[in-house]
Amino acid sequence: MKNVRAAVFAAWWLAVFAVPGGELSGVIERDVPVKMRDGVVLKADVHRPDTGGPFPVLVWLTPYGKHKMQFEKYVKAGYIVVCEDVRGRYASEGAWESWLRPRTHDAEDGYDTVQWASTLAGASGKVGTIGLSYGAFLQWRLAPLQPPALAAMSAHSIAARYTDLEGPGTMRPGRRLRWSIVTMSPDVRRHANRPGTQTEAEAAAAWDGGQGRKWLEFLPWLELPQEAFEDETPYMRDWLRQPQNDPWKLDAGCRLITVPNLDVVGWYDHAKGDMRLYQTLTKEGRTQAARKGSKLVVGPWSHFPPGGRRFGKIDFGPEADLDLAMLDVRWFDYWLKGKANGLDREAPVRIFVMGDNRWRDEESWPLKRARTRVLYLSGDGGANTPAGDGKLVDLRPGGEAGDDYTYDPRDPVPTLFAPGNFTCAMDQSPLSNRQDILVYQTGPLTRRIEVTGFPEVELFAATSAPDTDWVARLIDVAPDGLARDVCMGLVRARYRKGVEKPCLVKPGEPIKYTIRLGPTANAFLPGHRIRLDVTSSDFPNYDRNHNTAADQNADPGLAVAQQTIHHGKRYPSKVILPWVPDAAGVPTP
């Protein structure tokens, strides 16, 4: 399994960054010192063409080790690339300050690096920033300071708010713990000369060898030992005590940003954050270039967008492959080199419609032309498993019914993860025998139904516990039985009115919950079924609810809950789909 994961990552890396044939087209200056305004020296690798110039400069800031990066495609296209270890990571001086701290040097360090890069020998004076995930987060931190040399950003795959990235009132342990324990903490220990694992490779081997399960089963989170988060442990605990607080607020900085951004993200990316940053920048950006020039590209990917069209049995077709580096090059050719390449005449939004497996240009996100399509939950009380009697129907049922299941947090519904505990498109069939998943589905469709936007589920549900979770997952079921998840959402009962307004529930009382599912674009094709799964866990993608009234970040107690989903005339549980008519204007079914 370890070799498979390494092969998957290597294939993605080469697809994104390597030049065909592996040809070098430049030279690399290693560990170039970059002095910050407070005297701390950061280290950067400078990748540059070996002849010609002047060239624009692209800056990639990373906490993951600049020595792992390759930029031949960018250099070959006529760019100098500065890849810098951020403060306190790998070759750079200082102490690392995670994104959980209320105050860091990220913005000022980014500003200083951009301005320094603009003065490099052979530089044209114009700078763009690139990077995904944490590298995108750092761009959104520095851009509001408006460094004069900055002309454009390409920040991919990051949420606007930390509360969009994590779960309701707690962390998502599957990704967060692996990220900290395997990726971040070893280098913190190495910098501090502390005992313990000091390389990512060793930490990954330990995690995959069984330590990962130990960490994921640890309770309660507030008592995690320091080795999990090292110097960031106090900040993680502060946030777990006050999860309504957002240490990021990246969207608040959009009104100060003067440059456009190219945002590339995946429908299955845990860090997509509803594309709030794109929406905010295009409405509130400081300049017309920021508001009108920014673009959004959304594909059928996980957190690392390009590099593969297949996920197990799922194949999104040849159009799903994307060369991210060359997408960046075209973007920066327009903004940094002034090339008339037609970028300004293209639609601002490009989405991949799954099912059709085709790209489509749009003028906005979400789509303004989407209409409402309602499907009601129905059945005779036996919706457990896909073999049950749960249905999705067009007309509101006239009778009253309900479906029951038992949720035991000691045996939660397991997340079907990609390698590295990343969410991606997965066939949900391996979970088909679980009695704690209720399944509601249509019959085979007679015509195409496109769902693009933010589906919602209105659920009338009761529990025997003072608190619990409700998880809803929209699924596309193919004629051969493959059940591909489309999008999902979760609400924690005590936070049904918002994380800032916790309110326990009365056991046994039916309560209306609104579950906003993640954004998607999916065409359910003729012969396919639209399916909705309802359960109470998706662990360890989301922390399991303990079904108790206690602070679940501080108390390890677990209890079993009896759950009921009501549907019918009095309790019209339903899924509300953002339906997009086809070009012929076919009336809603």
Give CA–CA dist 560/552, Å, rounded.
Answer: 14
Q: Are 177 and 228 in contact (CB under 8 A)?
A: yes
Q: Are 520 and 472 in contact (CB under 8 A)?
A: no
In the chain, the N- to C-terminal Cα span, in Å, equals 45
Give CA–CA dist 215/188, Å, rounded.
Answer: 19
Q: Are 42 and 113 in contact (CB under 8 A)?
A: yes
Q: Are 333 and 545 in contact (CB under 8 A)?
A: no
Q: Which residue numbers are catalytic? A: 133, 269, 303
- What single DSSP character describes residue 363? S
CA angle 468, 440, 565 (to 5 degrees): 35
Query: Strand pairing partners for 255?
Result: none
Reference 276, options 309, 253, 300; nearest CA is: 253
User: Is the peptide bond between 510 and the residue preceding it cis, with omega within 30 degrees of 0?
Assistant: no
What's the number of CA atoms in the CB half-sphere (13 Å) around residue 50? 6
Alpha-helix runs per DSSP H in 352-408:
none
Reference 155, options 181, 129, 117, 118; nearest CA is: 129
